[in-house]
Structure 1
């Protein structure tokens, strides 16, 4: 299974070491790829809507028709770790590759939200943008550990 996380974000973060750590913990048959799309430069001549549309177009070019797109959005549904583990189990069985998309500072375009198979909110809290990939990968690892009766997750 290949899991892709696409962030509309600045290139460098101090969280990349944590991302690498969780990637190493997963078994070899679960590949995680973290891709970054540069944020559209903000200017007074472009509207917020123009910026998110341009970022959305870049994102949608990376998505294939058969991909499961999960858009991380503050208005999305909240999932428990158990619910994520159940979804992962279905993705394994159906041999699909989920793509978790993290929007830019102004969120997603309507086109991205319309294409998304689901919208997921991590929390009611506002989280630092650069931490979101770490949280996603940790939850993927936690879900995998639950599905495989590993001691990492304690209910």
Structure 2
């Protein structure tokens, strides 16, 4: 299986989720199943069915997170030496050449992407257009509304 890139912060977030699922969610759902089971007839017990469904979801998510962590290639942006090139983990300051608006994004793994936190997925069109470019370069991004051009103002490894 291919290694999936993750930042140090993204790996920590997944570890925290895994810990919560195993130490809080799993015991809670086991208690809910026991409680529902105590109500008697399981064939018509909606609480029991809901708790079993929840257990299935939690166990599936635990396996998914464990697999992601097992296949993760953890990259610390502070340790990168990419000579100013846009790479995974880099924080990139861009100017939209149409509107003049300046935005800053960090290029992260798919699981870490959060546009509200200015983190874009490595597989997003804008990140793919930025990879390999330097400050001063122009990146052309195929957006739903047509091609957008961004000038790379700065590349940092935070």
Under TM normalisation by the shorter chain, which class is it? under 0.3
> TM-score, normalised on structure 1?
0.23
Decide which structure has the larger Cα Rg and report it. 2
- Of structures 1 and 2, the one scoring higher in RCO (CA 8 A, sep 6+) is 1
> TM-score, normalised on structure 2?
0.23
